[in-house]
Amino acid sequence: MNKIFEYKLRPNKKQVKLLDSLLWETKCLYNNALQELIDYYEKTGKYLNRFTQDKNYNKQIYPNIPAQFVDTTLDRLHRSFANFFRGLKQGKKIGFPRFQSYKRWSSFAFRDYTQGKIKDGKWYISKTNGIKVIQHRDFLGTPKLTRLVKRADGYYIQVICEIKSVKVKKTDKQIGLDLGLRYFIADSSGNKIEAPKFFRKAQYKLARNQRQLSKKQKEGKNRNKVRQIVVKNHLTIQRQRRGWLHKLSHKYANENDVVVVENLNVAGMVRNRYLSLSISDASWATFLSMLEYKLQILSRTFIKVNPVYTSQKCSQCGAIVQKSLSQRTHYCPECLYIGDRDVNAAKNILKLGQVLPFGEDTAIAGLTTQEANRSLGV
């Protein structure tokens, strides 16, 4: 499996101009290539092959772009086209590739790691003597690809590495997790963890900055300054949320051999206009994806089950007990069991995905236990 390790860059003014120029040039290349694909299809009714299109873009047309960035940018465009047509065949709603503005175009990639590697605390790119990298930790596994990303607070370098799974000592523990809004997680052991609600806490400050932005003249310098402040606010919220989710997912992955969760249709639930903001702030999908890959690294089991009737069914006797959303206590008239509604649901989730503990302690493969723990504690 692949894992991304991200490091902050500290370029000087000359290097910043170079990176800005490369971003602008690759954005223009993407837009021109997209227009060429559309025009070619309208004239011939056929799809223009990527390798044929690549030959048309030479040093005379884009002299400031290295050949590898031309290749990776065109590859990105054609993958977007492939995803669009694949979605049409499968009946999925995948948007047609669209033209990129400088606000949306924020990254470009190298062909592989050897052409954009980090060495002695510096990241080397053409026409520079190396850009300083804040490498707060070493990456693990085998580096496959390097990618440059621009965020509101500067440039970052991403190293995509291939990590092998590791088999560690069994804990002989299985747990079911019920995700919710009152409690972010209620597990089958009776623990309840409240969501920190980072967006809700920053909402007042964000709204104030949004009002300042709305009063600025369009295309003005002051408007762009305030826009950057708003973007940084969102970036701070995102980082706070992801940091908390990483710690929580690491805890459950490290303590349990089997984790069972509901197979939630989060995209469909967000359409509820009354709960969409709270669901987005909770970030259930992000948490589940983090938990899944952390369990995969440790060669442990991640199971999704059907959420139907998990909140209504009694975890002790299996009787169906109808209750409204406002009723937070589960009371079963059949077996007289009383418990928290969410904890009862977590116990039902665990029963649906219950599996036997498999195997004894096994030898470590690929990574050491210490390396695996480091990779999980991002």
| 317 and 179 belong to one structural domain | yes
- How large is the average pLDDT for residues 148-173? 88
* Most confident listed range (124-128, 140-144, 227-231): 227-231
Share of residues in the chain with pLDDT > 70 (%): 92
Model confidence at 144, in pLDDT bands (50, 70, 90)?
confident
| 328 and 185 belong to one structural domain | yes
Question: Which domain does 349 fall in, by range?
Answer: 174-194+249-376
Q: What is the helix (H) or strand (E) element at residue 94, kind and residue range?
A: none
State how many domains the chain has: 2
Rounded Cα distance, 267 and 36, in Å: 34
Query: Six-digit token pair at 154?
Result: 């500067």
pLDDT at 365 over 50: no
| 183 and 317 belong to one structural domain | yes
pLDDT at 364 over 50: no
Rounded Cα distance, 368 and 140, in Å: 11
Any domain includes 96: yes
pLDDT at 147 over 80: yes
As a 3-state breakdown, the chain gives helix, strand, coil percent values, each rounded to 5, of 45, 20, 40
Any domain includes 100: yes
The predicted model scores a pTM of 0.81
Any domain includes 30: yes
| 89 and 179 belong to one structural domain | no
Alpha carbon separation from 141 to 20, 97, 120, 144, 194 (Å, rounded): 31, 33, 19, 9, 34
Rounded Cα distance, 169 and 115, in Å: 39
> Which string of DSSP letters, residue by residue, matches 236-265?
HHHHHHHHHHHHHHHHHHHH-SEEEEE---
| 50 and 187 belong to one structural domain | no
Across the chain, what does the average pLDDT equal? Answer: 84
Give residue 360's pLDDT: 34
Give residue 264's pLDDT: 87
